Amino acid sequence: MKKFNLILLTIISSALLAIPQPPDLGVGSYILYEPTTKKILVSYNENDQVEPASLTKLMTSYVVADYIKEGFVSLDDDPRISVKAWKAPGSRMFIREGTNVKVSDLIKGMIIQSGNDASIALAEHVAGSEDNFVLLMNDYAAELGMVNTSFNNSTGLPDPLNLTTAKDLALLTSAIIKNFPSHYKNYSQKSFTYAGITQPNRNRLLWRDEIFDGVKTGFTSNAGYCLVGSASRGDMRLVAVVLGSEDEKRFNDVSALMSYGFKYFVTEKKVAKNTSLKEMKVVAGVSDLVNLGIDEDIILTLQKDQKDSLSYEIVAPTEVLAPVTKGEIAGTLRVIDEEGKIVEEKALLYLESVDELGFFQRIIAILWNWIKSLFT
């Protein structure tokens, strides 16, 4: 039978300090989300379904970016503009029927100018029709875990089947930032000129503070004024979603959430991958010891007063019989907060392989190890 031990690597105690309650925005729903650790820092009605308005274009943007990444669409493509795209109501980049417009310009028109005409043109170029494109949008939403979202157009124009939530929009925005960093840079551009018409980015946060680098505004009479914003400070990024607010207030709301998050929380790497956390005895191996570690960094978002109040536990056998294969599971690493709650758990792996000794040396080593165990 294998002997197991539990090792307490580090523990630092400190008094748990109370932090102020998060801002009460007084709007329909909102969320403050840390995408690296997938932690919700603040939320209110985050799973309530509402109309997304032009925030729908975030999904249109995501689908287009993925089709470009996979090589099905090029930024240099210049699709011919249809009557449907040309006649799109609401905000527009003012493309004309029968002209050819580069995909790169259509993307900027959709993101920066919130052009409904650009959204339809992109949808038709990717999928042949907007209806076909909507099927893709819903498939991608399902893949991203947007369980309370459905789309029925590419623009966000009023439609009872266009529904989403603050949480789902946070997931989508986080995926855009992570999966398509070059594409995401379009969201920080402050203006775009097409056909001699210059339009500013609707996201006024870009002018407020350099930490903001996106993402999108939206408005319909049913949805109210909506905003998804993202900002980074140091190694920490936050995504804030505010739905059902008022015009100027939505920018203040997102700013308030960001200020709260950056002031009271921090995201840090607590344990590095491929770093030896423990040496385990190897019986009958060409080496007497093998290092144990993890294959992914442990990164946590914590209250600033709690970041140095964690303990780390290793549960693993005291020894292993050779041969040992690199990457196989050796035990478990647990990160525990000062209240005794496990906040992260990872498989502990062998960081290198250890070959077994030759036949006779192996027998002798096993016998000798057994004899020693009788006296310990």
Give the whole-number percent of the chain exceeding pLDDT 90.
83
Q: Which residue has the tokens 């950056």?
A: 262
Rounded Cα–Cα distance for residues 221 and 212 (Å): 27
- Pair 306, 217 in one domain: no
Residue 76 · residue 107 · CB < 8 Å: no
Task: List, as one string, the DSSP characters of 201-266.
Answer: -S-THHHH-TTEEEEEEEEETTTEEEEEEEEEETTEEEEEEEEEE-HHHHHHHHHHHHHHHHHHEE
The residues annotated as belonging to the active site are 54, 57, 114
Is position 24 within any domain?
no
pLDDT beyond 70 at 160: yes
pLDDT at 285: 86
111 and 228 fall within a common domain? yes
How many domains does the chain contain in total? 2
pLDDT value at position 322? 85
Residue 3 belongs to some domain of the structure: no
- Cα-based torsion angle of the residue sequence 175, 180, 183, 188 in order, rounded to the nearest 10 degrees: 50
What are the tens digits of pLDDT across the range 271-287? 999 999 999 999 888 89
Tell whether the torsion through CA atoms of 247, 251, 252 and 258 is positive or negative.
positive
- Whether the per-residue pLDDT at 3 is higher than 50: the answer is no
Residue ranges making up the domain that contains 349: 272-373
Task: Let me know whether 206 and 352 are in one domain.
Answer: no
Q: Which of 268, 297, 315 is the last residue of a domain?
A: 268
Residue 376, classified by CB atoms within 10 Å of its CB into exposed (0-12), middle (13-18) or buried (19+), is exposed
Same domain, 171 and 300: no
Residue 2, pLDDT above cutoff 70: no
Residue 71 has pLDDT above 60, yes or no: yes
Nearest C-alpha neighbor of 304 from the set 276, 358, 266: 266
Look up the CATH number of the domain holding residue 355: 2.60.410.10
Tell which of 218, 238, 268 closes a domain: 268
Q: Are residues 37 and 167 in the same domain?
A: yes
In a domain, 104, yes or no: yes
Query: Is the pLDDT assigned to residue 6 strictly greater than 60?
Result: no
Q: What is the CATH number of the domain that holds 144?
A: 3.40.710.10
Q: How many residues does the chain have?
A: 376
261 and 291, same domain (yes or no): no
pLDDT above 70: percentage of residues in the chain: 90
Closest to 199 in 3D by CA, of 92, 113, 125, 287 = 113
| pTM, entire model | 0.88
Is the pLDDT confidence value at 257 over 70?
yes
Q: Are residues 252 and 199 in the same domain?
A: yes
Select from 249, 268, 287 the last residue of a domain.
268
Residue 220 shares a structural domain with residue 291: no
* Backbone φ and ψ of 281, nearest 5°: -70, 135
The helix or strand, by DSSP H or E, that contains position 346, with its residue range, turns out to be: strand 342-350
pLDDT tens digits, one per residue of 170-213: 999 999 999 999 999 999 999 999 999 999 999 999 999 999 99
